[in-house]
Amino acid sequence: MNVLDDLAGGLIVSCQPLPDDPDDPMRDPYVQARVAAAAVRGGAAGIRANGPADVTAIRAAVPVPVIGLYKAGSADVFITPTAAHALEVAAAGAQVVAVDATDRPRPDGRTFADTVRALRAHSDALVLADVSTVAEGLAAVDAGADAVATTLSGYTSPGRHPDGPDLDLLARLVGLLPVPVLAEGRYRDAGQISRAFAAGAHAVVVGNAVTSPLWITRRLVTAVPRHR
């Protein structure tokens, strides 16, 4: 048994301020911990959170597993881009560390496998590989990832992101990988969550649709005459 078993068949709520708005008023560890506590009260089996301060605050506030990541820098690879970031978020209390496992160059010139090795050497945290393609999922498992998530599908090329989740990538990863596959990225409603579990998802991660008043309000005001 490990924390991935605790997440099986569950909803994971991603409690993060909006990355593209430095003035998001939700950018506060206390606030994120309260959001996480509400999500767990509502039935979340796990929480995903960004940065050591939020991870520590959330670990203290909820009894469920916390997947930590560390968004940093302005390079293409910004989700836990280096082994140092991974170790810091593990030391902050994350039982699982989410790391970009795409095939893009990393800011320190090292590899995803280096990050896995560093975590194995210095912490008990499990490694969740955030990928955008089947090939990246296969490579992540070869590099030692404990689980894979579809997090980065739709985010590796410039331009507008797709609206909906990538259920096709999810199904293909589920069919090929010997590790749990998490559905993440643009899941907004119960129908999409049901389809992800039907496709074999180990767990489904939902972020902004639950945890960002800023994101939700910006979407709703597009239908309001005075904001057009």
Ligand X SMILES: CC(=O)N[C@H](C=O)[C@@H](O)[C@H](O)[C@H](O)COP(=O)(O)O
Q: Is 69 in the site for ligand X (CB under 6 A)?
A: yes
CA distance 63 to 48: 13
Query: In 3D, which of 174, 170, 197 has the Cα closest to residue 185?
Result: 170
The binder of ligand X chosen from 131, 187, 199, 214 (CB under 6 A): 187
Q: Which stretch binds ligand X (CB under 6 A): 36-44, 52-60, 119-127, 204-212?
A: 204-212
**Rounded least distance, CB 207 to ligand X, Å:** 2
x-or-dash string of contact with ligand X, 6-45, rule CB under 6 A? --------x-x--x--------------------------
Rama region for 185: left / alpha / beta (φ>0; ψ in -120 to 50; rest): left
Binding-site size, ligand X (CB under 6 A): 18
The separation between CA 16 and the C-alpha centre of its own chain, rounded to angstroms, equals 10
x-or-dash string of contact with ligand X, 88-127, rule CB under 6 A? ----------------------------------------
Q: Is 85 in the site for ligand X (CB under 6 A)?
A: no
* Residue 38: its H or E element: helix 29-41
CA distance 159 to 23: 23
Question: What is the footprint of ligand X within residues 147-166 (CB under 6 A)?
Answer: 151-152, 155
Lookup result for tokens 């469920």: 64
Within 10 angstroms of residue 9's Cβ, the number of other Cβ atoms is 11
Question: Which residues contact ligand X (rule: CB under 6 A)?
Answer: 14, 16, 19, 48, 69, 79, 151-152, 155, 184-187, 205-209
